[in-house]
Amino acid sequence: MYSYSVSFGLKQMLLHTTLLAHNELQDSYDIVIKFHSAKNLPKKFLGHTTPYCVAKIDHKISYTSTIISKTSSHTWDNEKWFVRNIPINAKLSVKVYDKDDDQIVDNYIGRFDIFDLINYTPPVKGHKIIGLFGQHHGYFHLSIELTKSSDDTKHLPPYTFDGPCRYFRHDSFAVGRLTMLNTDYVYSTWKIQIRRISEFFKPCDRQYWNKKYLAARTIFGNFPHSLASQSTIKLAHKILYGRTIKNTENGHLTNAHDLWKSIFTDPITKEIKPCIYTYIIDNNTWRFSQTGTQFFTNFASKHALLANCSEHVRYAGEFHPRPKYGWDRCDDEWELVFDNGSGTYAPDASLLNNLKELLAFNFPGLNIVTYNREDPQLKQSIQQLKLFMEN
């Protein structure tokens, strides 16, 4: 009787321990972090500090805030970050920087860490920002909303970015004078943070660089000049996509209307600009810029440059806007036409529908058409676009 009870009790204890461990592994949380302000920051000799922060959760996912322009009140407006399925023991690290357009590297102000997000209570004075040598460099204020992951979202991968969709447009006047695409001599690049990319493009679906493509082998191959090529491309990426105080615009996107109005409509003419863009989708962003046959335009829009020389992307190709009912009805609905036209990454055409679903999810109401790069209908659509541009 006694031995039976002990044996039974040990089995029950083992089962209970196993279930607890399993449940702990299964426990995940959704988090919304709101960034409010940075106070009492070190003063500059001339002018105001222009702070921004870089937040990371377990070094798995990161968020870069907008830059607070030159003002004495270092307060963010509606700055929040939504991440799904973080573990119960997740850690948040926040670093604060001072943006300086005249320097290669921004000034580091300091950092702080939050080790217990589940039982988080904000300090009354804010989090102490600690500098490189332990100096006190001000206080940072944020708030955290944490809920257990729902049954509807538990299927998402850990650390899934779920909003908000923010866009950043960077205008380069130096490159604009080389590309000569407009009378303002401006070349613009766009970066849009989009939600749940890993739900539509699984990690196993990553598109690696095309080893059959000579230009890709020149960049990514094991050649003496490959490192030099990568360094040049990464420098160009920093110039074209690096955020600045003066030449960067940003905002939020919630639907197709926002996308057309904020991204593709000329602010002066109030018309949609007909042109062809190259694009890449990486882990959290959709990056694109206008392409063309002219040398500098072609170089500035290379897929390897958009991807910052990453050996893989989630997807890549070209896209262009067009009137849904023909070029003689430009005042009616528009649509975006996407393809998989990237020699560098040669994306799988079977994933074009995944791309369509991803964009439709992020921008409800968006009209999307997809074509394989070899589809005659794509070539016809581009020819009609070019003819309209010439006329």
CATH (domain of 132): 2.60.40.150
- Domain finish residue from 111, 134, 161: 161
Sign of CA dihedral 290, 291, 293, 295: positive
54 and 37 in contact (C-beta within 8 Å)?
no
- Domain finish residue from 140, 161, 182: 161
In a domain, 384, yes or no: yes
Q: 21: which 2 tokens?
A: 């461990």
Helix (H) or strand (E) holding 390: helix 376-390
- Domain finish residue from 138, 161, 184: 161
Mark whether 144 and 199 lie in a shared domain: no
Q: What is the pLDDT of residue 26?
A: 61
Amino acid making up residue 177: R
Mark whether 157 and 173 lie in a shared domain: no
In a domain, 202, yes or no: yes
Mark whether 93 and 200 lie in a shared domain: no
Q: What is the pLDDT of residue 179?
A: 76
d(CA 316, CA 310): 12
In a domain, 5, yes or no: no
- pLDDT, tens digit, 9 for 90 and up, residues 227-252: 999 999 999 999 889 888 888 889 99
What value does the mean pLDDT take over residues 317-341? Answer: 95
- pLDDT, tens digit, 9 for 90 and up, residues 341-357: 999 999 999 999 999 99
Q: Using alpha carbons, list the distances in angstroms from residue 167 to 196, 312, 330.
A: 16, 22, 25
Domain count along the chain: 2
Mark whether 218 and 344 lie in a shared domain: yes
Mark whether 97 and 214 lie in a shared domain: no
54 and 101 in contact (C-beta within 8 Å)?
no
d(CA 246, CA 171): 9
Amino acid making up residue 63: Y
In a domain, 18, yes or no: no
64 is in which domain, residue-wise?
28-161
Bond prior to 164 in cis (omega within 30° of 0): yes
Straight-line distance from the first to the last Cα atom of the chain, in angstroms, rounded to the nearest whole number = 96
Q: 64: which 2 tokens?
A: 């870069």
In a domain, 2, yes or no: no
| Average pLDDT over all residues of the chain | 89
In a domain, 48, yes or no: yes
Q: What is the pLDDT of residue 338?
A: 98
Q: 287-307: string of b/e by CB count within 10 Å (b at 16+)?
A: bbbbbbeeebbebbbbbbbbb
Is the pLDDT assigned to residue 165 strictly greater than 60?
A: yes
Is the pLDDT assigned to residue 19 strictly greater than 70?
A: no
What value does the mean pLDDT take over residues 89-103? Answer: 92
Mark whether 155 and 177 lie in a shared domain: no
What value does the mean pLDDT take over residues 109-118? Answer: 95
Mark whether 331 and 307 lie in a shared domain: yes
Backbone angles phi, psi at 259, to 5 degrees: -65, -50
Report the number of secondary-structure helices (H) and strands (E) in the chain.
10, 19
Mark whether 211 and 97 lie in a shared domain: no
Mark whether 371 and 247 lie in a shared domain: yes
**Residue 151: helix, strand or coil by DSSP?**
coil
What value does the mean pLDDT take over residues 275-282? Answer: 96
d(CA 215, CA 217): 5
Taking residue 142's Cβ as centre, other Cβ atoms within 10 Å add up to 24
Considering just the CA atoms, what is the radius of gyration of the chain in Å?
24
Length of the chain as a residue count: 391
In a domain, 15, yes or no: no
308: CB partners within 8 A, 6+ apart? 233, 234, 237, 241
Mark whether 223 and 96 lie in a shared domain: no
Mark whether 102 and 211 lie in a shared domain: no
Mark whether 379 and 344 lie in a shared domain: yes
In a domain, 1, yes or no: no
Q: What is the pTM of this model?
A: 0.88
